Each structure stands twice: as structure tokens, then as C-alpha cells.
Amino acid sequence: MRVGLLGGTFDPIHLGHLRAAESAREGLDLDLVVFLPSGEPPHRTGPLASALDRFTMACLASAGHPRFAVWETELKRPGPSYTVDTLASLHAERPDDELVLVVGGDTWPEMTEWREPERLFSLAEVAVVTRPGQPSPTTAPPFPGARVTRIDGPALPISATAIREHVRRGESVRYLVPVPVAEFIARRGLYA
């Protein structure tokens, strides 16, 4: 199976994440796209919602798509999770799967600074989904043998930061997050 992996804080998950996942799924012929919410960072200025709330919102958001899933791989790990460790453990658990790491265009330039980048690129293909309103990144493979594909949307100019700001100001987030996520945010009083 070809499995796409989209990690993030998802604070909250929004239609930009869902659309990026869908564009990557179609563009790279993925059988499944998995959202991997990050765990609770040890010292934090953010995220602002708990790991459980962020996980719940990811489940609510992806429930309607037969090829989307949410896994708790990173949530269960204490301390910071490094992508290379997540990929190595998923690779060990599912040796027959092809792993495709999906990242936004803003995240891509940081990736060579991540822990053990060469090993990371050997464990997964990488899909870079360009974010509207941000310069289109060059996606030359950073290491010999690295497999990198740029997915030029369709993508949506939505960020979690903007959503938290809308909620804080008492503004609507309708059509920026799925309806059950908007309801969950209101019910739990998140970001207010």
C-alpha cells in the first residue's frame, strides 16, 4: 500500500490540510493518507489545544473520507517526536508499505535541518504541496536517491494561526474548517 503521512500540530486541523492531503493522494496515487497529530511538547508556547482535542478534531475532519485516517503514533510518544523516528517505527511495523511524507511548501525548506535528514529521505518519498500566497519552492532532491515531488494544488490559503485569530475575535470559521470541527471548537471553548 502507498501510505501518505501528513504530520502537524493541527491546532486546529483545517480545510487547507484536508485539501493538501487530497491533492497529494490524487497526485501520487496514495491508497491512504494518514494525519499524525503531534504530541504535547514539553515546554510550550503553543499548541493551544490539548493533544486529545487536536486528535479528536483530526478524527472529526477526516471521518467522511474513505482514504483518510488519523493515527496516534506521535501522540503516544513522550517528549519531542522526530519525523525520522516516526518513519522508522512505521517502516518496521509495515515493511510492505511505501511511505510518502506530505509537507507544505513552508515546511519543506526546513527539512534538511531535521534530525538525520539523509536517513529520513531514505525511509520515505516526499510530497511538497505548495501553499498559495507563498513562493513556490524549488524541490530538487537534497540527497542522492531522495525522491521528491512537488504538488501544485489545488491548495487553499488557510492557516491554523488565522483560524485561531478569527475565533479569538469572535469571527466565524465556517468554510475554513469542517462543520464538526467548528462545532467542537465552539463546544469546548477552544481559542476563545
Interface residues with ligand ATP (CB under 6 A) are 8-11, 16-17, 20, 103-104, 106-107, 129, 131, 155-156, 158-161
User: Which of residues 96 and 132 has its CB atom nearest to ligand ATP in the complex?
Assistant: 132
Residue with cell 501518505: 4
Least Å from the CB of residue 107 to ligand ATP: 4
Nearer to ligand ATP, 16 or 178 (CB): 16
- 92 vs 184, beta carbon nearer ligand ATP: 184
Q: Which is nearer to ligand ATP, 96 or 172 (CB)?
A: 172
In the complex, least distance from residue 96 CB atom to ligand ATP, rounded to whole angstroms: 26
36 CB neighbour count, 10 Å cutoff:
24
CA quadruple 63, 128, 6, 120: dihedral positive or negative?
positive
Question: At its nearest, how many Å lie between ligand ATP and the CB of residue 150?
Answer: 12
**Shortest Cβ 75–ligand ATP spacing (Å):** 14
Nearer CB in complex with ligand ATP: 109/141: 109
Q: In degrees, to the nearest 5, what angle opens at C-alpha 140 toward C-alphas 137 and 146? A: 125
Beta carbon of residue 95, minimum distance to ligand ATP (angstroms, whole number): 25
Query: CA-CA distance, 168 to 189, in Å (whole number)?
Result: 10
Q: Which sign does the torsion angle of CA 93, 19, 62, 39 carry?
A: positive
For the chain, the distance separating the N- and C-terminal CA atoms, rounded to the nearest angstrom, is: 41
Cβ distance 36 to 6 under 8 Å?
yes
